[in-house]
Amino acid sequence: MPTVNARGNENQHVPVTAVIPPGIITPEVMIDVDVLDRNIARMASATLARGLRLRPHAKTHKVLEIAERQLAAGAVGLTVATIGEAEVFAKAGVRDIFIAYPLWVTAPRAERLRTLAESSSITVGVDSAESASFMGQNLGAAAGRISVLVELDSGHHRSGVHPDDAPAVARAAADVGLDVAGVFTFPGHSYAPGMPLAAVRQEDEALRRGADGLAAAGFPARTISGGSTPTALLEGETAATELRPGVYVFGDAQQLELGRCGTGDIALTVASTVVSHHRTEPGEPGRFIIDAGSKVLGSDRPAWASGYGRLLDHPDARITALSEHHATVEWPRGLPLPGRGDVLRVIPNHVCLTMNLVDEVAVVHQGAPAGRWTVAARGRNS
């Protein structure tokens, strides 16, 4: 049973497998920097080998030190979701940022975009002629310093236009002086069992059709941007010129259950203490409570998921219920329960939510503490 007894100070001396470094006060987000670096290198070389640019989505980690590693490994810039995130990374010296969101650019937002464009190359998503015109109007003379990518709906049915409607949006953007750089899409429907292959085909079809339409309307696409973690490592022909995966840096229980990563690729876990045992009837599976709840794991739980996350060292355990500070773990029948005070490593379902819940993370290098990183863009929702 590869758990660690963390009763008081004893855990500095008796770990069976040294997975929990000393000094961790649970619940605590831990980043295994060795796995992180391997994930960053693998995605960088895979996209390079396909001749694609890599623009990782930094909303996943929100950490300057991780962005630096991605850029050092060859990423052309970063993707973010909000102006606030762009501000954090631009201030830290990132010079090429795509805000992959159909912003409604009011006067105060226009002012912030103008300031960002003074230091960095800024691209913004747009998915209607109306929002393009409104953005241009509020940006005024600065419109020419902001590039836009027209967002396409490739089957996720969230934001984005039908590819056939992309030229009209591009025309409205150009009319107000914005630089039309191309198209982008997010194949979010790839986050389901069996979907990555279908989603990547739909993504490719939408990008190709959108880019062709733009070219025919006089806006040849410099950038054709796609990609999510489930689809980014799939091979084959693509219309895309760049990919924007985010979750690949850490992996999570969703990716694991979709078969898009293995347990050896999991770089982020939440150290959690067993605090309570359930009284169960003979023959029932064992159940206990750990001190990681929705306020550190996040409560995303797709219908196809096995539960509210997984335990890295106990693949047969299931997390069957989640409150703010409690997770209920169902343990395989017949196996002895971990003791109260034992520390387990939880893989959250969705790491983007986990990172947005904590101000700092503990960095682990070869099983030993290696400092702390600040989640610099945490909570920058606007």
Residue 35 vs 210, nearer CB to its own copies = 210
272's enclosing H/E stretch is strand 268-277
Options 86-94, 232-240, 256-264, 349-357: segment touching its own copies (CB under 8 A): 349-357
Task: State how beta strands 28-32 and 286-290 pair.
Answer: unpaired
**337 sits near its own copies (criterion: CB under 8 A):** no
Q: How far is the CB of 195 from its own copies (least distance, A)?
A: 16
**189 sits near its own copies (criterion: CB under 8 A):** no
Options 31-39, 205-213, 295-303, 362-370: segment touching its own copies (CB under 8 A): 295-303
**175 sits near its own copies (criterion: CB under 8 A):** no
Site for its own copies in 245-274 (CB under 8 A): 273-274
Q: What is the CA radius of gyration of the chain?
A: 22
Q: How far is the CB of 300 from its own copies (least distance, A)?
A: 5
**326 sits near its own copies (criterion: CB under 8 A):** yes
**372 sits near its own copies (criterion: CB under 8 A):** no
Torsion of CA 16, 371, 95, 159, to 10 degrees: 50
Taking CA atoms, 314 is separated from 35, 253, 254, 309, in Å, by 19, 13, 16, 12
Question: 62, 98, 100: which is closest to 250 by C-alpha?
Answer: 62
* Beta bridge partners of residue 122, listed in sequence order: 97, 146
Residue 39 vs 272, nearer CB to its own copies = 272
Task: State how beta strands 242-243 and 53-54 pair.
Answer: parallel
- In contact, 285 and 99? CB cutoff 8 Å: no
Residue in 74, 177, 341, 369 binding its own copies, rule: CB under 8 A: 341
Q: How far is the CB of 45 from its own copies (least distance, A)?
A: 28
The SS3 assignment for 172 reads helix
Q: How far is the CB of 220 from its own copies (least distance, A)?
A: 25
**324 sits near its own copies (criterion: CB under 8 A):** yes
Torsion of CA 352, 197, 232, 223, to 10 degrees: -110
Q: How far is the CB of 348 from its own copies (least distance, A)?
A: 12
Give the distance from CA 304 to its chain's centroid. 19
Residues engaged in binding its own copies (CB under 8 A): 6-9, 25-28, 59, 81-82, 101-104, 106-109, 127-128, 130-131, 134, 138, 157-162, 165, 188, 273-279, 289, 291, 294-296, 298-301, 321, 323-326, 328, 340-341, 352-353, 356-359, 379, 381-382
